[in-house]
């Protein structure tokens, strides 16, 4: 037991005499804690039957001597001593206070004692953990901490968890935590009660097999990340989980399998995508010439290139539909397609969409001409009831719902009647499925002539489609008959709009980059009678940036 307690003159150290043996401790929280435990261990215990008891009063004296060597002066100090004694005794395996007297102990040794309880049975904890179920959120076994603590507490103290003192609960919890950790379990404190968890083992072979099957079915198409994760979990563990987080070993299997099937291992927009198609070195040369040499087919939607012809011309082996879309939409191929007048998107055509109709039932993917002008000499327009006129040319701005170009040919009375109906009164007119509204002739110019046969020929052209009449500060239109890669008036009209010094030989660069920056857009999906139309925005600062970039990278020069 403690014979005496002394403090160093500077107050930094304390010395205990335990059964005549001096021991020195730092005068701080950790030093006092160790001094109390050593002092309690130095108290002589008493054995009754198979049980060991620690005298309670002597325990209090040890704690009081360490905490208050000058004596307890207040009720608060006394309560502190009792609380610390309770915790320290529980840490050493002693329970709450019990009264012992004859005949259990001799009359002279009657008094208050604390019984020493055995440590938690490690096998009991391991057996309980072996019964843990599988969680629904993560691929792991889970067992609520309170279940194990309660069973361990019942085995040690014979009381339910809620009936134990805080010190007893702390002792049980500390021992169970250590046993669980030694058995390979982790403690998850994310919930109020906490749980012991252990990751499920990964069946690598079945996980790879399921991922292989999934990617073969997709056949080169993008695959959802959620689908990949589900199949990986189903193969690895036999079921899926709410969490999309994969164990490192399983994530490695996913990455390796994706790469083996030609997919990027990093997802984009919630899906894994195939690697881009690499063109053969020979195909990188003269792309535009190779595409221009292909023979187009005719469809109800206009001229088009068969996708399979484009793929063959580029020397690309078998690729998926998605990869074909990326091939024609990105990089040098898309630029080459635009330069020879084709779209950069794919369109499905059924056999009956081709002209002439094709045999069989298999649809084919085609790349349509960007500008698909029709020259139907029989097309008529009838805005005045009962009086129809021929329309050799009709081009509509389907965004602003106005006419860009219109030509009427017919008997003078019929032309005049239709003209009056068109420009008078601000009425809405439907030309096919397109709606237009004109406010008189404020935005248009009229050109009229009489043909040798006596018919009238009236032309309506938007002022912004005329090099002579255009306002340089407003967006302008370019008429395109589909015969040239760039409409002929593009450079003259852009040069009129901008104060920048432009050279005619820059037209190709300006056209390509103006479209890329959406300063040039195709109207009415590229369709028209006689002409299609482009809309060009004239913001000088954006065109200046295009020119400066071209000069900086050497695409254009003075």
The domain segmentation of the chain, as residue ranges, is 2-116, 122-199, 204-272, 287-370, 380-463, 476-553
d(CA 340, CA 336): 6
- Please write down the HEC assignment for all residues of 303-316: EEEEHHHHHHHCCC
pLDDT at 287: 83
Q: Which two tokens stand for residue 524?
A: 């009415």
Helix (H) or strand (E) holding 187: strand 186-188
Q: Measured in whole angstroms, how far is the alpha carbon of residue 541 from the centre of its chain?
A: 34
- Dihedral sign (CA 356, 362, 367, 368): positive
Whether 9 shows a pLDDT value over 90: the answer reads: no
Q: Which two tokens stand for residue 320?
A: 């998926």
Whether 4 shows a pLDDT value over 90: the answer reads: no
Evaluate if pTM is beyond 0.75. no
pLDDT at 2: 60
Whether 432 shows a pLDDT value over 60: the answer reads: yes
Strand-strand pairing, 223-224 and 271-272:
antiparallel
- Dihedral sign (CA 19, 22, 27, 30): negative
- DSSP E strands, 51-173: 51-55, 94-100, 111-116, 133-134, 140-144
514: nearest Cα among 492, 533, 486, 488: 486
State the average pLDDT for the chain. 90
Strand-strand pairing, 527-529 and 372-374:
parallel
Whether 425 shows a pLDDT value over 80: the answer reads: no
CA neighbours within 13 Å on the CB side: how many for 189?
Answer: 1
Q: Which phi and psi (to 5°) does residue 470 adopt?
A: -65, 150
d(CA 143, CA 467): 81
pLDDT digits (tens, 9 = 90+) for 152-183: 999 988 889 999 888 788 888 888 998 999 99
Answer yes or no: are the C-beta atoms of 87 and 36 closer than 8 Å. no
d(CA 533, CA 225): 42
pLDDT digits (tens, 9 = 90+) for 264-304: 999 999 999 998 887 766 565 678 888 889 999 999 888 89
Whether 1 shows a pLDDT value over 70: the answer reads: no
Average pLDDT over every residue of 335-356:
90
Whether 92 shows a pLDDT value over 90: the answer reads: no
d(CA 206, CA 191): 33
Answer yes or no: are the C-beta atoms of 409 and 417 closer than 8 Å. no
Whether 465 shows a pLDDT value over 90: the answer reads: yes
CA angle 37, 164, 92 (to 5 degrees): 15
Helices (H) and strands (E) in the chain, counts: 17, 29
Answer yes or no: are the C-beta atoms of 353 and 304 closer than 8 Å. no
DSSP string, 491-533: HHHHHHH--S---GGGHHHHHHHHHHTTSEEESGGGEEES-EE
pLDDT digits (tens, 9 = 90+) for 193-204: 899 999 999 999
- Dihedral sign (CA 128, 129, 130, 135): positive
Q: Which CA distances in Å does 368 have to 50, 294, 341?
A: 96, 13, 9
Average pLDDT over every residue of 396-413:
94
Nearby residues of 260 by Cβ (< 8 Å), 6 or more positions away: none
Helix (H) or strand (E) holding 104: none
| Per-residue pLDDT band at 385 (split at 50, 70, 90) | confident
Nearby residues of 159 by Cβ (< 8 Å), 6 or more positions away: 153
d(CA 515, CA 128): 69
Q: Which CA distances in Å does 498 have to 151, 491, 513, 552?
A: 85, 11, 16, 20
d(CA 471, CA 336): 33
- Rounded to a whole number of angstroms, the distance between the first and last alpha carbons of the chain is 101
Average pLDDT over every residue of 71-91:
90
d(CA 84, CA 59): 10
β-strand partners of 535:
477, 521
Answer yes or no: are the C-beta atoms of 2 and 43 closer than 8 Å. no
């Amino acid at each position: 037991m403690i014979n005496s307690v002394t403090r160093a003159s500077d107050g930094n150290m304390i010395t205990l005499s335990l059964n005549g043996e001096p021991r020195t401790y730092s005068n701080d929280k950790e030093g006092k804690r160790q001094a109390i435990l050593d002092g309690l261990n130095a108290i002589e215990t008493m054995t009754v039957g198979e049980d060991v008891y620690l005298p309670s009063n002597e325990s209090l004296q040890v704690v009081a001597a360490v905490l208050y060597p000058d004596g307890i002066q207040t009720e608060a100090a006394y309560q502190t001593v009792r609380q610390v004694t309770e915790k320290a005794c529980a840490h050493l395996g002693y329970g709450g206070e019990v009264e012992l007297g004859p005949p259990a102990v001799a009359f002279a040794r009657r008094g208050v004692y604390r019984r020493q309880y055995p440590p938690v049975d490690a096998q009991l904890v391991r057996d309980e953990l072996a019964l843990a179920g599988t969680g629904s959120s993560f691929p792991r076994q889970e067992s609520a901490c309170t279940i194990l603590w309660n069973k361990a507490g019942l085995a040690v103290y014979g009381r339910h968890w809620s009936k134990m003192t805080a010190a007893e609960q702390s002792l049980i919890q500390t021992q169970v935590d250590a046993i669980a950790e030694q058995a390979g379990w982790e403690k998850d404190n994310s919930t109020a009660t906490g749980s012991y968890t252990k990751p499920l083992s990964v069946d690598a072979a079945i996980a790879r097999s399921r991922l292989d099957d999934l990617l073969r079915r997709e056949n080169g198409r993008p695959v959802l990340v959620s689908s990949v994760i589900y199949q990986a979990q189903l193969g690895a563990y036999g079921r899926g989980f709410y969490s999309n987080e994969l164990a490192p070993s399983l994530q490695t299997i996913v990455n390796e399998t994706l790469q083996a099937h030609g997919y990027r291992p990093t997802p984009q927009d919630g899906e894994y995508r195939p690697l881009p198609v690499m063109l053969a070195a020979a195909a990188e040369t003269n792309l535009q010439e190779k595409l221009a040499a292909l023979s187009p087919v005719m469809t109800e939607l206009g001229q088009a290139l068969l996708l399979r012809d484009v793929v063959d011309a580029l020397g690309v082996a078998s690729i998926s539909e998605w990869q074909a879309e990326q091939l024609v939409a990105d990089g040098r191929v898309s630029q080459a397609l635009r330069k020879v007048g084709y779209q950069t998107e794919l369109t499905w055509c059924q056999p009956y969409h081709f002209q002439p109709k094709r045999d069989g039932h298999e649809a084919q993917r085609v790349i349509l001409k960007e500008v698909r002008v029709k020259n139907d000499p029989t097309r008529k327009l009838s805005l005045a009831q009962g009086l129809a006129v021929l329309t050799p040319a009709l081009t509509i701005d389907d965004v602003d719902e106005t006419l860009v170009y219109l030509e009427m040919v017919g008997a003078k009375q019929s032309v005049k009647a239709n003209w009056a109906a068109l420009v008078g009164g601000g009425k809405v007119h439907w030309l096919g499925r397109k709606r237009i509204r004109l406010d008189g002739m404020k935005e248009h110019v009229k050109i009229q002539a009489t043909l040798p046969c006596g018919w009238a020929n009236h032309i309506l052209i938007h002022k912004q489609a005329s090099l002579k009449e255009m306002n340089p500060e407003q967006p302008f239109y370019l008429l395109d008959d589909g015969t040239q890669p760039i409409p002929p008036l593009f450079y003259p009209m852009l040069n009129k709009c901008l104060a920048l010094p432009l050279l005619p030989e820059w037209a190709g660069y300006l056209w390509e980059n103006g479209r890329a920056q959406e300063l040039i857009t195709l109207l009415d999906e590229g369709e028209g009678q006689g002409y299609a139309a482009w809309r060009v925005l004239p913001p000088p600062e954006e065109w200046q940036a295009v020119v400066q970039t071209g000069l900086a990278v050497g695409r254009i020069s003075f």
